[in-house]
Structure formats: structure tokens, C-alpha cells
């Protein structure tokens, strides 16, 4: 299994936290969950961090069974639409950058 993270590094514009989160949940989650082949979509809103740590108001994690499935999802209509909607939400509510990281996931149950 692999997980592709989208890290929203920066800050939500002052007074825009509720609007930012609502836009993500209402407009983006339906698109992200429509990415073909995903096994898990996790949307995590930053609540607290260590002093001096960079701010991540949003972290998106989408898990796939393998790289080929991920690559097909990244070329899907839902992904292309999500990029457009993300741009709209970022322009309205967020200042910073978005970067992506793909990880080889090892999951351990306790």
C-alpha cells in the first residue's frame, strides 16, 4: 500500500478557518473520494503544533494499493476537477504552498 499526502503548508487567511474547512469538506472531499482505486481518504485539519513548527492547516492522505493505481487516479477526471476546485479554495482562503509526498505504508494494529 502507498499513501500520497498533500501538505498544505502555510496559513488560512484570518477569519477564514470555518469557510476554508467547509469548502474542503463540501467541495473537495466528494472529488477526492471519487479518485478511482483509492482504499482510504483521510482529511486532517491542523489543530495544534510544537512551538516553531511549520503550520499545516490541512493534510490530505489518499491510500492506494500500488503506484500504478495511484497514477491512474492522478490522471482521472475527478483529480483534474479537484485541482481546479483546490485552486479556487486556495485563492479565497489560504496563503502558502501545497506539496505532495508518496510514502510506502506499513500499518500496525495495536
Would you state the pLDDT for residue 1? 94
Would you state the pLDDT for residue 18? 98
Would you state the pLDDT for residue 45? 98
Would you state the pLDDT for residue 106? 87
Looking up cell 491542523, which residue turns up?
A: 46
Would you state the pLDDT for residue 44? 98
Radius of gyration for the alpha carbons in the chain, expressed in angstroms and rounded:
14
Would you state the pLDDT for residue 107? 82
Q: What is the chain's pLDDT, residue by residue, as a tens digit (110 residues)?
A: 999 999 999 999 999 999 999 999 999 999 999 999 999 999 999 999 999 999 999 999 999 999 999 999 999 999 999 999 999 999 999 999 999 999 998 889 88
- H/E segment holding residue 88: helix 77-93
> Which residues touch 5 (CB under 8 Å, ≥6 apart)?
59, 60, 61, 100, 101, 102, 103
Amino acid at each position: 500500500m502507498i499513501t500520497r499526502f498533500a501538505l498544505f503548508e502555510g496559513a488560512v487567511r484570518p477569519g477564514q478557518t470555518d469557510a476554508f474547512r467547509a469548502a474542503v469538506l463540501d467541495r473537495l472531499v466528494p472529488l477526492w473520494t471519487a479518485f478511482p482505486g483509492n482504499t482510504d481518504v483521510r482529511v486532517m485539519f491542523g489543530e495544534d503544533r510544537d512551538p516553531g513548527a511549520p503550520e499545516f492547516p490541512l493534510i490530505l492522505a489518499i491510500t492506494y494499493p500500488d503506484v500504478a493505481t495511484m497514477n491512474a487516479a492522478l490522471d482521472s477526471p475527478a483529480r483534474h476537477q479537484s485541482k481546479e476546485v483546490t485552486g479556487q479554495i486556495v485563492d479565497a482562503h489560504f496563503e502558502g504552498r501545497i506539496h505532495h509526498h508518496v510514502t510506502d505504508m506499513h500499518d500496525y494494529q495495536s
